[in-house]
Amino acid sequence: MTAAERERWRTRLPTYAVCAIAWAALAFRSPDPGGGTRPCCAMADTLSSGGGSGPSTAASVLTVDWVLMLAAMMAPMLAAPIRHVRQRNFARRRGRAVAMFLSAYVAVWMLAGAILAGLQFALSRAIADTATHNVFVAGLAILWQCAPWKQACLNRGHAHAAFPAFGAAADLGALRSGAAHGVWCVGTCWALMLLPEAFPSVHLPAMALVTVWLIGERLERPSLPRWRVRVPLKALNIGLTQIRKVKAVPHEAGR
């Protein structure tokens, strides 16, 4: 294994581990105190019910739900940015720089989570019919998926800033980089993140599909922002190639 490969796995393994732990926590979460199983990060339900014990509990439940959802869906996409932070900082500063980068990134997403929770709560009150509500949320996601602003956010998410080498400027650079990456990540993902909430009966499968889609989008090259149907074709091609290889194995073994 080369030094570059070792460095890649130094960032991949922790992010994959965080992702796996978050998915396990979501899969084995405790049942809703009101009866039944509360879907992960069910923002509108949590806000309207008060989490079972009042506003403070609702906020705590919503925060834990959102952190788990964020870790499950976003952690796999952080390996490359974290590797960039490590590579652009001296060895003695790498841990500190990564911690600051992640702190700023998570802070942006926590703010976005509060805004998305309010948006979902408002939509659930404005559109009482479940089917109409789901169609509206799906339409909103499709509209943003095709919008040029989505591509602009994707393009900016591929950019990696330079870091000052020493002192407070280096710390500020790590914070600024994490915040910027969080902003463009929110811009890319926010509409798709609403989809699992619209379909609580299949919440986890919907989360998984959205996560795979978002990862696939990161594999695409930056392109000119314009209105178009945006599909992660490169990821689909990679998946089909791997399926063909798996199917070809029995034939090769039988020769």
For the stretch 56-66, pLDDT in tens is: 676 788 888 89
Write down how long the chain is: 255
Least confident of 14-23, 97-106, 137-146, 238-247: 238-247
Helix (H, G, I), strand (E, B) or coil at 202: helix
9 pLDDT higher than 50: yes
Q: At what angle do helices 79-87 and 3-27 cross, to 10 degrees?
A: 140
Structure token digits, residue 179: 């915040």
Please tell me the distance from the alpha carbon of residue 43 to that of residue 37, in angstroms, as a whole number.
14
Please tell me the distance from the alpha carbon of residue 42 to that of residue 66, in angstroms, as a whole number.
9
Q: Is the pTM of this model over 0.75?
A: yes
Mean pLDDT for 37-64 is 60
pLDDT value of position 33: 43
Q: For the chain, which residues make up each domain, given as ranges?
A: 3-253
Angstrom CA distances, 12 to 5, 8, 104, stand at: 10, 6, 20
Long-range contacts of 46-51 (CB under 8 A, 24+ apart): 46/117, 47/117, 47/121, 48/121, 48/124
Query: In this structure, are residues 210 and 193 in contact, taking their beta carbons and an 8 Å threshold?
Result: yes
User: Taking the CA atoms of the chain, what radius of gyration do you get in angstroms?
Assistant: 20
Query: In this structure, are residues 196 and 70 in contact, taking their beta carbons and an 8 Å threshold?
Result: no
